[in-house]
Structure 1
Amino acid sequence: MDPSFEPASHAATPAMQALDIDEVPALEIGEGCTRRDLPAAPGVRFWVVEMAPGAQWPVVDHHETGESYYVISGEVIEGEARHGAGTYVYFAPDSRHRPHTQTGVRLIGMNLGDAAFLAAGGSPESIVHCYHPTQG
């Protein structure tokens, strides 16, 4: 996220930042797939992913430290499983997935950076350093 970005419609203090997610610049990840990186504490990554109807994530994501997301609207498909609005999905460390959607989807996700993952007791064996810029 652009460090100079601060939405005009919300006040910020050193201890708090509030923003309209739709004002955060969207990064195009692949055809019909965007990601909006949100501010978070050091070692934690938060983002919003939007996928257009019929879109598929451009690569198989490998999440060394795991990943979690909550489906805000629409439906995301992981393998044969369909996850609609209101569903929380968790992937274990060292997992892989390649989501797609027929209806379109908006979700909010998070994962830990390597140092935060290890500090929380995560296994060093799951970290193989193959981060790809499309990972959410």
Structure 2
Amino acid sequence: MDSFKSVKEQLVNRPQIQALFIKMGIVIIFSDLSYSLLYLAFSGNELKGIQSFGDYFQLLGEYANSFYYAFCMHFSAPMPTADFYLNMEKVVKESLSLQIIQFFHFCLNKIIDIMVLAYAAGVILKVFGILKEKKE
């Protein structure tokens, strides 16, 4: 665990602490980004071929909706009542493959959340000198 040796000196200023929290946020959100692509791919939505530049924006909008669906699942936020979310919920309940994806999405998110919280707690304890390094 040599990475924590100089944590006290490294995390003294505000920008480094902010960078740490931004990195942890990215790690937490990354699984939602990945699983939103799986939800969109397996949902059976009729995505038309990309014929024009405007179709990219439509596809990006569908992906953003799918990401928000995955984000709401991760943080147990209330789902919006728009047609996309109602249809997605219906498709997930009816499809075994999407139920399996949803199960692993939930499990992976909880594992990542626990690891990030444990890492943050370790860094905070090291900064305040509460947790001492083991001498080997």
Structure with the larger RCO, 1 or 2 (CA within 8 Å, 6+ apart):
2
Same fold (TM over 0.5): no
Give TM-score scaled by structure 1 length.
0.23
The structure where helix makes up a greater share of residues is 2
Give TM-score scaled by structure 2 length.
0.23
The structure where strand makes up a greater share of residues is 1
